[in-house]
Chains A and B, each alone.
Chain A
Amino acid sequence: MTESGKKRYNPFYFVQEAFKGFVRHGIMSAGSIIVLTSCLVLLGAFAALIENLNLNLGNLGMMKEIAVFVDYDLPEDKVTEIGEEIKKLDNVSGVTFISKKQALEEMKETYSDYEELFNDIEANGDNPLADSFIVSYRDNDKVLSLESALHSIPGVLKVNNRLDYAVKAENFKNGMSLVFVWFFLLLLVVAVFVISNTIRLAVEGRREEIDIMRYIGATNSFITAPFIVEGSMIGIISAVAAFFLDAFLYRFAISKLSSDLKMFELLPFSHFRWLFLFSFIGIGVMSGVLTSLFSIRKNLRN
């Protein structure tokens, strides 16, 4: 005997049966969708964060600038002298002087909500800032020797290389990645657990029907197909819900943050749109289908 009796099945039957199962265990289905959606929303939020961090880290690295602050009470001619000395250093392509008055004005503009605080400082004539130079350089590889040369100039108080910020941000990004990966995995495990229980209930609810199907010669694939379709329905609904939630949350976050984070460039949601949609559907359907497949195989064995 062979499997020559194989024929084409009506796919509408599988969708119809999957829909029945989905409705019959509505609460469990909703639970599966909520957990899987949370998982995907988190994934999207993290991807958006990393993309924005990468863009701004790239911008920081591309700026090739070092901020040099001089001692607070240095006379004007001494400050000019330091500027001249900086210009003579190797790898320097330009030097811009920013007086402490200018720096205070810039700060007032950035933090316009605290205008009163700055007015008090100006009224007392106590400018707490220092004169500084923005030093542009040509070669990132020689930045360390330039930094040490700047440190050795008498009257220099502090040297801030923006690459340092980039390194700090990179470390922050790596730390965040680690926390995210664990959190994501934890949610995924919960999602798999809830989906597998939903499918297990669906199998239990149809145990008698499955037995009859076996007696009349139904293949395993015919019996399992409705459950696989049910799993993929959970995956697709979760993916679409997560996509719209992420779109809403991201746009909301941008509208709130763009005024506070003027120095950062923030990507629009359209930048992520297709990536999010397709990866969410991919992950959602994969987790729904694989979990269903595993759950039904395990439950049908008995």
Chain B
Amino acid sequence: MIEFQNVRKEYADVTALNEISFTIPDGEFVFIVGKSGAGKTTVTRVLLMEEKVNSGHIIINGDDITAYPDRLIPYHRRRIGMVFQDFRLFPDKTAYENVAFAMRVIGTPAKEIKQRVPMLLRMMQIENKADHFPEQLSGGERQRVALARAVANNPDIIVADEPTGNVDPEMSLIIMNLLKRINTVLGKTVIVVTHEKGLVDTMGQRVITISEGKVLSDVPAGGAEDD
């Protein structure tokens, strides 16, 4: 479970998160939406411990991550699989190597990497491009490699920051369905930060809307707005 408790984050003279609070239970699929500058990306940054909060607490599975020392940050990030708008793949590594590298970083034995990577690429329907470099792949294919990498180390949480920002509408839906599959088949908690309202409406999942660093609305999956 992820709990944001009165989290405040300020940059110079801007308040990005203003005493924000919400809870995401394990295995939930959640959209975080809002206008540009609303603070939705800051939510992912503090969740990944890229930024330290000014006040408040972020509790993940009972641990207050705001109290973690810096040396625990890498181990904390291994619990979260990240997907970015610009893919952030290693340009000099093939699709296979990109996924394998994420596993190598945490010291996974070579035998396990060999077994798991083809399975992940198959799951993301990109196994036929395993030996292609990122520049030889389309936007949608790159994002599917990024998804395979995000789940490679079996994290508890997947955070996707504008994952469909660089792909066509048809591929956007495929990406969203893959994220949904990760949520339902693998049981991961999935948080998708996006501004694509149409896509959000199509998926019919919980939607947290942020405005000026505060939760403006919190609509559960297929349901009415919570108070």
Chain A residues engaging chain B, CB cutoff 8 angstroms = 1-3, 5-10, 13, 208-209, 211-220, 222
A1 touches B77 (CB 8 A): no
User: Top 10 closest A-B pairs, CB basis?
Assistant: A7-B107, A217-B78, A217-B77, A218-B105, A216-B102, A219-B74, A217-B74, A215-B82, A212-B88, A1-B63
B77 touches A7 (CB 8 A): no
Residues of A within 8 A of B63 (CB): 1
Q: Which residue of B lies closest to A220 (CB)?
A: B74
A211 touches B88 (CB 8 A): yes
A216 touches B105 (CB 8 A): yes
Within 8 A of A (CB), among B99-134: 101-102, 104-110
Also in contact, A2 and B105, with CB within 8 A (given A10-B110, A211-B88): no
- Additional A-B contacts beyond A7-B108, A214-B74, A216-B101 (17; CB < 8 A): A1-B72, A2-B75, A5-B75, A5-B78, A7-B107, A7-B109, A208-B88, A211-B88, A212-B88, A212-B90, A215-B88, A217-B76, A217-B78, A217-B106, A219-B74, A220-B74, A222-B105
Q: How far is the CB of A211 from chain B (nearest CB, A)?
A: 7
Instruction: Judge whether B149 is part of the interface by a CB distance below 8 angstroms.
Output: yes
- Scoring A8, A211, A222 by chain B CB atoms within 10 A of each residue's CB, the highest score goes to A222
Interface bin, chain B: 20 to 34
Report how far A273 CA is from B82 CA in the complex, Å. Answer: 55
Q: How far is the CB of A205 from chain B (nearest CB, A)?
A: 11
Could you say which of A7, A10, A209, A218 contacts B90, with CB atoms under 8 Å apart? A209
Q: Which residue of B lies closest to A219 (CB)?
A: B74
A7 touches B106 (CB 8 A): yes
Q: How far is the CB of B99 from chain A (nearest CB, A)?
A: 10
Report how far A198 CA is from B156 CA in the complex, Å. Answer: 39
What are the interface flags for B44-80 relative to A under an 8 Å C-beta threshold, 1 for contact and 0 otherwise?
0000100000000000000100001001101111110
Q: Which residue of A lies closest to B60 (CB)?
A: A1
A213 touches B88 (CB 8 A): no
Report how far A208 CA is from B79 CA in the complex, Å. Answer: 22
Instruction: Judge whether B143 is part of the interface by a CB distance below 8 angstroms.
Output: no
Residues of B within 8 A of A213 (CB): 105
Report how far A13 CA is from B103 CA in the complex, Å. Answer: 13
Within 8 A of A (CB), among B135-188: 149, 153
Report how far A154 CA is from B68 CA in the complex, Å. Answer: 92
Report how far A5 CA is from B68 CA in the complex, Å. Answer: 16
Q: Which residue of B lies closest to A20 (CB)?
A: B92
B105 touches A217 (CB 8 A): yes
Report how far A222 CA is from B88 CA in the complex, Å. Answer: 19
B104 touches A215 (CB 8 A): no
B71 touches A3 (CB 8 A): yes
A218 touches B74 (CB 8 A): yes
Q: How far is the CB of B3 from chain A (nearest CB, A)?
A: 15
Residues of A within 8 A of B68 (CB): 1
Report how far A159 CA is from B74 CA in the complex, Å. Answer: 78
